[in-house]
Amino acid sequence: MRIALLGGTGDIGEGLALRWAYDTDHDVIIGSRDPEKARAKAEEYETELDSRGVERTVNGFDNEMAADRADVVVLAVPAYHIGDVVESVSDVIDEDTVLVSPAVGMQRDDEGMHYNPPGVGSVTALVQQKAPEDVPVVGAFHNLAADRLANLDVEFDLDTLVVGDDSDARELVADLAGDIEGLRALEAGGVANAPEVESITPLVINIAMNNADMHDVGVRFF
C-alpha cells in the first residue's frame, strides 16, 4: 500500500511513518503544506532507518501531491486544522482512497486535558462531513503516545480502536495498524462510536501527567 501522512512532519505523523517504514514494506509518503519541509523530513526519516540497518525510500511532497499518490491518506494534523486539510485535497481523493483521522479535539485547563469535540460530535465525523461523499473515512491511532511511537527502541504491546462506516475500509486500516509490530487493532463500529473512542485520549494524557512512572501510558484491552 502507498500511505501518505499529511502533516507527516509532526509528532504522530513521524511515529507512524517510522513504524510503517521500519516494520513493513508499505510505501511511505510524507505530506506538508511546505514541500521542502516534507522532503527534509523524509530524508531525516531515511537517515534514522539507515542507522538501524533498514534501507528505505521515503518521499516528501506538498499535501495535495502526497494525497494524489496514495491509497491511504492519514490526516496527522491537529483537530482545528483538519477540515481545511481535507478540503485542500478533496480534488485528488476518490472512492479508492481511504481517509484516516487520528485527531482528537481537546482543551486544557489547570486540572488537565478535556475532550472538546466539534459540533458534529467527533473529529472523525467532521472529516466525514468535509470529505467527498464517496471517500471512506476511518478513525484510528487516537490514543498512542506520539513520542513512544516515534522511538523505534520502544517495543509495543498496545491496542488502537478503529471506527468507520465502511467495513472494508475499517478492516483495511485495522490490517495496516496490525502491521506495526506490537500494535493490535480492535474494530469499534461506525463513526457514531467515534466520540467514545476519541474521548479516551485526554484520559490517557491525564493519567500520564499525574503519574510519574506512566509517561508512555497507552491502552490495552483484555
What are the C-alpha distances in Å from 131 to residues 16, 44, 45, 120, 123? Answer: 22, 31, 29, 14, 12
The mean predicted confidence, pLDDT, of the chain is 96
Residue given cell 514494506 in the structure block = 25
Give the pLDDT confidence score for residue 28 in this predicted structure: 98
Give the pLDDT confidence score for residue 217 in this predicted structure: 78
Q: Which residues of the chain have pLDDT under 70?
A: none
Give the pLDDT confidence score for residue 145 in this predicted structure: 87
User: Is there a contact between 150 and 125 (Cβ–Cβ < 8 Å)?
Assistant: no
Give the pLDDT confidence score for residue 60 in this predicted structure: 98
Phi-psi sector, 112: left (phi>0), alpha (psi -120 to 50), beta: left
Residue given cell 494524489 in the structure block = 68
User: Is there a contact between 16 and 141 (Cβ–Cβ < 8 Å)?
Assistant: yes
User: Is there a contact between 69 and 29 (Cβ–Cβ < 8 Å)?
Assistant: yes
pTM of the model as a whole: 0.96
pLDDT tens per residue across span 58-111? 999 999 999 999 999 999 999 999 999 999 999 999 999 999 999 999 999 999
Handedness of CA 143, 148, 152, 153 (dihedral sign): negative
